Chains A and B, each alone.
Chain A
Amino acid sequence: MNIIVCIKQVPDTTTKVRVGKDGKHIDPGGVKFIVNTYDDFAVEEAIRLKERFGGEVTVISMGPERVKEALRMCLAMGADKAIQLWDPAFEDSDPYTTALILSKAIQQLPYDIIFCGKQAIDRDTMSVPVYLAELLGLPQATLVVKLEVDPNARKFIAYRDIEGAKEVIEGLLPAVISTQWKLNEPRYPTLPNIMKAKKKELKELNAAALGLDSAQVGEKGSRVKVLSMELPPPRSKGKILKGDPREVCRELVRLLREEAKVI
């Protein structure tokens, strides 16, 4: 099987994020980047399919030089090839434009199934896999917690957790699958494989190589623009009420009603 995985490099969950000077981006200074948590499930599922049915796993990521580190991690986990998509024109791409760029790269490759994490933990839009399936004209299953693939019948069965029930979807391959955290337990790359990952193919493609012109991508091609970014307001100090329990209760109810407006 030819398996493709789209990944994103995101700030580590333990990083203290600061807003950059322009008020539209996070300040990358001192930020440690990791492979998006949900993408780990996508890579793991892809490698398991390869181990079972044979074939090749190609990992693709759009982003600047630093995403090579994330791609190398996926190669160390067991992917065979990696492609970095970058061009200065790609800066500030929204989910739609990102999916467009990914789709152009995927169209140059043979594929039977495409995996994406269900969302990136930085912007949480959950939309790239959906756009991607539409742009490629493929069936899709999102938030998949269990997957069965039959490469000979070219079919898949995907299980999704929905409100109070489990939904089972059958579809044709090729398809786009977005992965939810219950799907599998991603492996750690072994230390010898980390050392070998550097020898695997890591290709770079820019806008021209993808047949895209700069009006289609980046901020210009985007449907969504970031106007400003700010941190949530710091939590205000808690109040401690003291005194006669009766009075305290009365005051508590009043505060909950008038200040917190929760009752």
Chain B
Amino acid sequence: MDFLIPEDLKDLKNMVRTFVRKELMPLEEEVERSGKIPEEALQKMRELGFFGLTIPTEYGGSGIGTFGYCLAAEELGWAHSAFKTICGVNNGIGSKPIVLDGTEEQKRKYLPKIASGEYITAFALSEPGAGSDAANISTQAVRKGDRYIINGRKHFITNGPLADLVTVLAVTDKEKRAHGGITAFLVEKGTPGFSVGQIHKTMGSRGVYHSELIFDNCEVPAENVIGKEGMGFITAMKTLDDGRLTLAASCVGTAERLLEMSTEYAKRRVTFGKPIAERQAIQWMLADSATEIYAAKMMVYATAIRYDKGERIPAEVAMTKLYATEMVNRVADRAVQIHGGMGWIQELPVERIYRDVRVTRLYEGTSEIQRIIIARNILGYKGGLEG
């Protein structure tokens, strides 16, 4: 499938591959043990431009499209999930709202810092009472002269405790809600009234922090509105579309690694006089995983290439996200099965990856939400999910 990839992106994919294997994969145990990405590794990633791949070149990034980022995400998917997450947020939901709908001033002020990794970012949409039903958020922003006062509580926010800059979605018109009543704001760390709430303990994804964010009479200037008042919901939906593809791409990489580990283990492990790789039961598992990985990869490549051409294909994006995330969970399950007890103890990375991939079926829209998007497209239903 190399024929689909232009030369410069092939070089980029190769470099990320080399870097992931030489610099990031050896740190996995440390990340898992300490719950932290070593600063030295973060610094290398900053210097090499990992945080600004998708940010336009005039603002200090590499300006690659969604397909290019998918190729990088595929390679990053091989390493501990903390790495793909920390740079994935800056390249995706952390910068996209500004790239897509921000003012020129916001772009100049923030994008170079996001691209260089000086700023870690977050995107705050989910709340205890609103996740997939995003239009249902209750965080409010009230205009007071040339400022807005934000009140509310967000949760499950990736990078929450670390973020220097957060995009916050808040209701500015209760009647209109999704149709012009939700606004996106940029809130910097240290803004009075903005604080980090509880840090969530999670099943997997060590090294990445998810937390509550609390806004208690948090005042931001009107110039921190992304785009215009009332545009926030549209900005959020566009931002999420893109993230689904890159998440799918990283699942392909993770699944490829699981298959490689499973294959090697199956050849090595001997039971009843021969390697388990020679047993049909194991062969079928390997064959199924390989087939599903191939299918997911083709979906990612084809959809990302179309997306970059400007096609609006939310159903195909949803199909790709749905298939790739469900696929990596099946591949992880088979990997544990093939490894037997070795897949359950923490000596090999299989056990960790099995836990880490579970969340992919939840975030960026659950599998069920993807199915709703796909079904509504088939049935010809228009409008938002709540319509």
Contact = CB atoms under 8 A, between A and B. Distances in A.
Contacts of B52: 191-192
A195 B15 contact: no
B275 to A, nearest CB: 16
Contacts of A197: 8, 11
B343 to A, nearest CB: 24
Interface residues of B, number: 23
A189 B49 CA distance: 10
A76 B19 contact: no
A194 B47 contact: no
B237 interface: no
Interface string A170-209: 0000000000000000001111101101100000000000
B8 A191 contact: no
Nearest to A193: B49
Interface string B1-40: 0000001101110111011000000000000000000000
A188 B57 contact: no
B35 to A, nearest CB: 26
A73 B10 CA distance: 11
Interface stretch (B59-67, B304-312, B376-384): B59-67
Contacts of B49: 190-192
Interface string B33-55: 00000000000100111101100
A188 B50 CA distance: 12
B251 to A, nearest CB: 22
A217 B61 CA distance: 45
B62 A191 contact: yes
A69 interface: yes
A197 B19 CA distance: 18
B11 A192 contact: no
Contacts of A8: none
Among B11, B15, B53, find the residue whose CB has the most chain A CB atoms closer than 10 A: B11
B11 A188 contact: no
Contact of A69 (B11, B19, B61): B11
A76 B15 CA distance: 10
B15 A72 contact: no
A195 B48 contact: no
Contacts of A73: 11, 14-15
B11 A190 contact: no
Interface string A43-78: 000000000000000000000000001001100100
B57 to A, nearest CB: 7
Interface centre among A76, A190, A194 (most CB of B within 10 A): A194
Contacts of B11: 69, 72-73, 76, 194, 197
Contacts of B62: 191-192, 194-195
A260 to B, nearest CB: 27
Nearest to B62: A192
B7 A189 contact: no
A191 B48 CA distance: 6
A191 B14 CA distance: 11
A194 B44 CA distance: 16
B276 to A, nearest CB: 21
A69 B48 contact: no
A171 to B, nearest CB: 35
A190 B117 CA distance: 14
Q: Which of the listed residues B7, B15, B53, B63 has the most CB atoms from chain A within 10 Å of its own CB?
A: B15
B8 A195 contact: yes
Nearest to A73: B11
Contacts of B15: 73, 76, 188-189, 191, 194
Given A73-B15, A192-B57, 10 more contacts: A76-B15, A188-B19, A188-B48, A191-B16, A191-B48, A192-B62, A194-B15, A194-B62, A195-B63, A197-B11
Interface of A: 69, 72-73, 76, 188-192, 194-195, 197-198
- Nearest 4 interchain pairs by C-beta: A191-B49, A192-B62, A198-B8, A190-B49
